[in-house]
Amino acid sequence: MKISFSCNNCGKKYTVPQSMAGKSAPCKNCGTRITVPTTSSSQYSSIGESDMQRFKEYKVVTIEEGGCGTLLAGSSMIPVDKMENKLNQLAVDGWQVVFQIVEQRRYLLFWTRESVIVTLGR
């Protein structure tokens, strides 16, 4: 079995045998001392094939800032309470956050508003 991880400093990706778990060495790219984790983790690597097989179903949820605030004030905030309530409801059903990104989306002709796109798995 192999362990996949990335350097915390420069992001160089490594895949090493399980026997290397817990050992440390300098990164070949930047020289920062890195320790091989005990198992592959999304903390140490990007989403890979093994991470994708961890869940049987996925769901994508989008939470956007309000349209009226965007039109009247030019910008409003992501509704944190709404996002928290939605994610808590989904957590009760067994969903876990896999990936999250914040992006700017065009709104009508002249405005943009922020959206939080959350990928969930169970």
| Class for the domain spanning 2-51 | mainly beta
Other CB atoms within a 10 A radius of the CB of residue 53 amount to 8
Per-residue pLDDT of 5-31, as tens digits, reads: 888 888 888 888 888 888 888 888 888
Phi and psi, residue 101, nearest 5°: -145, 145
pLDDT tens, 35-70?
888 765 544 444 555 555 678 888 898 888 776 665
Q: Where are the domains of the chain?
A: 2-51, 55-121
Task: Identify the helix (H) or strand (E) that includes residue 104.
Answer: strand 96-107
